[in-house]
Amino acid sequence: MSKKLISIFLFLLLIFSGIDSMAKQRFPKPEFEKKYTVPDTQIPASRALWLEYFDVFMLVICLSVVTWFVLKKRSRLGVLSVSVFSIIYFGFYRKGCVCAVGSMQNITLGLFNTEYHIPLTVIAFFIIPLLFTLFFGRTFCAGVCPLGAIQDIVALRSISLKKWVQAMLGLIPFVYLGLAILYAATSTDFVICRYDPFIGIYRLNASFLMFSIGAILLLMGIFIARPYCRFLCPYGVLLNWVSRISKKHLTITPAECIDCRLCEDSCPFGAIQIPTPEKIRENRFITVKRLMFFCIVIPLLIFLGGWTGSRFYENLSMVNLKVRLANELLMSKNEANESQSIEITTFKSQGKPEEKLYSEASVIVKQFYSGGWILGGFIGLVFGLTLAQLTFVHYQKGYTPNKGTCLSCGRCMDYCPVKKGEK
Amino acid sequence: MRQKIIIAVSLLLFFLVIYLITKDFFSNHAKNEENPTEYNLAKLRSIDSSQFCYKESRHFKLSMKGLNAIVIDSAYRIFIAGENEVQVLDSSLNKLLDFTTDSTADAIFFSNNKIYLAIQNHVEIYDMKGKRVQKRNPYLNSSFITSLVAENNRLYVADAANNVVLCYNEDGSLKSIIGKKDSLKGEQGFIIPSMYFDIALGQYNDLWIVNPGKHLLMNYNEKGDLRTSWGLASMQLEGFSGCCNPAQLAILPDGSFVTYEKGMERIKIYDQTGKYKCVVAGESDFNSKAINNFRLDAMVNDIATDLNGTVYVVDAVSDVVRMYVKK
Amino acid sequence: MNTTLRAGVVIGLCGVGTLLAKRTLNGKTVWQLDPSKCVQCGRCATSCVLTSSAVKCVHVYEICGYCDLCGGYLKPEVKDLNTAAENQLCPTSAIRRKFVEEPFFQYDIDEKLCIGCGKCVKGCGAFGNGSLQLQVRHNICVNCNQCSIAINCPADAFRRVPENNSNLLKGFTK
């Protein structure tokens, strides 16, 4: 019965297009006797295009200025002032969109979906901070990212966390990154944008959920500095990796470190690496044994993670609108007509064939299945590597910031008594 | 100690944030919420069953698609115009004639063994063998003919684009124009907001013209003088709803009027004096899934009557012809 | 070793960048609503991230019938044909009616009051010519990366359009 109606509707669509050509939709204007001009329908223009390119220009300028402050001038005050400027310009004026953090999803969508046209400004917002980080360290995080800057401002009473707590929490950005890429690649949703905690503050307008997330993170940020940056930001994962091989990086001391230990507790983010005393050199044999242990454990973790991830592929895929609609349609076959949701009634009245929806939905669900494996495996790998990193001891001389997690804020530089040019 | 508490509380808050995000992400929110500003068309269009005085006797499909216009002659032959085609059936629905036309006819009439078709901006006349006898010139190139009737060697043509009814002689020359705006005579002209402009012959073969913008049915003599008019603008059953109704008109042998209103999608009977009597068909008769939506096209393309008082309705939704008889 | 990695990253980024830049359109794209798919569900008014939704009702004067008994302006059961608030369909009274000449009235929309609920759109489409249509107004819309109305639309009526041709109004000729 429903099949017949569907074919009737398809047929009606044909008639509809036919009727257009029959000029039955021609509506003559009423003939007015008095002098009357029909008003024009106004179409207001959106923000000018050159202003979007100007944003990219401002991005480059701010990055250059903050990098200069961090590497050459070594001024915490300079970095702070750039942060404030970023909050005003990229935050309140541009309302936090488009930002580098979200641009990663657009890039993913562009790579997986050939029909998606990505604007040049978004590509620029993705690549430029990464390039700067590649050469100068995470100066983007220091003073340019509006999400980071607003958290940086409230980090007033920072308490340092234990190393293992920090490492475990540091896994969450990987999960977020994986989920964001998975959902962007399947054209489902832009997760990062949807749950951006601070955009509600910048728009001065937010739903209750968004406002609560933002407020909680800022409140927490007073004591545990930059929680979003360290434990949630998915772009931070990429910046972390890139920063590890950066050419130049922030150094605590302008010359050689004298081990005065004044900077030890100065980092609110726990990114300063303490020099290891000579006597804790490990037996080589034990190191090799530990390496072998991890060579077995890590692949196991990858497989375990992948398998777990694939178990959840149905739940993950339900976020996709097509899958959800297909599911509802299947379930509604048993229900009465009145209780159908508006999605079902609209879909039925549009006259699209049900089989097409089902086939599209099953393709997407298969994508989620393989995506689930990859995501789970990735998390497993990261978990294993984090564990490995915790057990290994870094051998180093002098106090240096961890090139990956240091956000180049420059607070530590003020603590160092060494003057430039000294030996 | 205090530091430990602060750390514990902060981490708790952090996981609260993560929990809120995941819960919101995977929940099926805002899907079945009530629309506070809903305009429930289904409720508005529903008609009480006691108002129905006609019931459907049968409906039939044709091999032709895109059924558009219909007329019944005194011998109960059914003339239907569809997509680029015209078919003639007898009262037992056997096909008598079938011929193609240049494009779909918007109106059809039969008189004096000739089939009159309204094709876009002009009139074409075919004989009962399916051959085109005449292709007349349009009144204006911009014309759009929505209805035509022939009576006593005169042909009345309703031009919806130019808001006039043209009266032609048998040879095709223009005799008079009804409804041309003339401030000296006080003639306001017909108000036609959308392309629905119907005319019909009354009980005494007098000319009835629908003025959809004013919700009036007007009776004219062939000179173009108004004899009488009636009509009421109202969403209730007694009146004509929307901006421009009735979209289609047919007149029963006893002089009662059959009107179709688009939008509200109802076919009603008014008596000879213009008083509302009862309902022939409502939206529920047309099997449409778009109960609470609107359709910018009407659900009914044309209505006609025969000498027995049967009402014929061209159902555009299902592309069938439905016949209604008195209950 | 680091230098080779660095070079690799630069090449990789530039490669991705050029690959995607080739597919880019000239100019930017903005969100727009397709009125032919819209079912006037009312979610445009509530789903927008802005308090006053960026979706507003737009009047295409070209196809308006200028009727006295306007299907989008008046409630269906009105007794008197006047502009009293209880007769108006619009919940915020955003439609202004101006007498032109008998029997034509001009209807204008005050966008500051319009909330984008679509009630008048439904009425106009059902009983009129369909000249009232919902559209995204780009002087208000902040052009989010992910439009929150778009994911809530039951008719999937939202899509991205180029900025220089940013309206999808039916019956409107530029």
- Yes or no, beta carbons of B319 and A11 under 8 Å apart: yes
At A334, list the tokens.
Answer: 């048993």
How large is the greatest C-alpha to C-alpha distance in chain A, in angstroms?
A: 103
- Yes or no, beta carbons of B14 and A161 under 8 Å apart: no
| Chain A: residue whose CA lies nearest to C152 | A321
- Yes or no, beta carbons of B194 and C122 under 8 Å apart: no
Closest by CA to A131, choosing from A250, A246, A251, is A246
Least Cα separation, residue B293 to chain C (angstroms): 7
Close Cβ partners of A315 (under 8 Å, ≥ 6 residues apart)? B26
For chain C, the structural domain boundaries read 27-165
Element housing B321 (H / E): strand B320-326
Least Cα separation, residue A251 to chain B (angstroms): 29
Between CA B80 and CA A270 the distance in angstroms is 85
Positive or negative torsion for Cα C144, C145, C147, C150: positive
At A331, list the tokens.
Answer: 């379930």
Element housing B151 (H / E): strand B145-151
- Asked if residue A232 lies in contact with residue A167, where contact means CB atoms within 8 angstroms, the answer is no
Between CA B182 and CA B163 the distance in angstroms is 13
At A359, list the tokens.
Answer: 């086939």
pLDDT cut 70: percent of chain A above it: 89
As for the ipTM of the complex, it is: 0.85
At B79, list the tokens.
Answer: 């003339």
Shortest CB distance from B37 goes to which of C65, C102, C119?
C119
Shortest CB distance from A349 goes to which of B10, B32, B293?
B293
* Total residues belonging to chain C: 174
Q: Which residues of chain C have pLDDT under 50?
A: none
Closest by CA to C56, choosing from A42, B29, A48, A40, is A42
pLDDT tens digits, residue range B257-303? 999 988 788 899 999 998 999 999 887 777 665 545 555 567 888 99
At A205, list the tokens.
Answer: 């307008």
- Calculate Rg over the CA atoms of chain B: 27
Alpha helices (H) along C22-154: 43-47, 119-127
In tens digits, chain A (423 residues) has pLDDT values of 455 544 444 444 433 333 333 334 444 566 677 777 778 888 888 888 888 889 999 999 999 999 999 999 888 999 999 999 999 999 999 888 878 898 999 999 988 888 888 888 889 999 999 999 999 999 999 999 999 999 999 998 888 888 888 888 999 999 999 999 999 998 888 989 888 899 888 988 888 888 999 999 999 999 999 999 999 999 999 999 999 888 899 988 888 888 888 888 889 998 888 888 766 666 788 878 888 888 888 899 999 989 888 888 888 888 888 888 888 888 877 766 566 777 887 887 777 888 888 999 999 999 999 999 999 999 999 998 888 888 877 777 888 888 889 999 989 988 888 887 654
- Yes or no, beta carbons of A123 and C169 under 8 Å apart: no
At B155, list the tokens.
Answer: 């042909």
Closest by CA to C78, choosing from B233, A278, B5, B190, is B233
CA C59 to chain centre: 11
Chains that touch C (3 or more CB pairs under 8 A): A, B
How large is the greatest C-alpha to C-alpha distance in chain B, in angstroms?
A: 109
- Yes or no, beta carbons of C43 and B35 under 8 Å apart: yes
Chains that touch A (3 or more CB pairs under 8 A): B, C
Contacts of C137 in chain A (CB under 8 A): 44
Shortest CB distance from B13 goes to which of A25, A194, A216?
A216
The total of other beta-carbon atoms located within 10 Å of residue B56's CB is 14
Q: What is the dihedral of CA B142, B145, B149, B155, to 10 degrees?
A: 20
pLDDT tens digits, residue range B166-211? 999 988 888 888 888 777 777 778 888 778 899 999 988 899 999 9
Alpha helices (H) along A45-99: 49-67, 76-86
Helix (H, G, I), strand (E, B) or coil at B178: strand
Q: Identify the bridge partners of residue A282 per DSSP, sorted by sequence position.
A: none
pTM for the whole structure: 0.78
Closest by CA to B20, choosing from A217, A38, C29, is A217
Contacts of A194 in chain B (CB under 8 A): 25
CA B162 to chain centre: 19
Least Cα separation, residue C86 to chain A (angstroms): 27
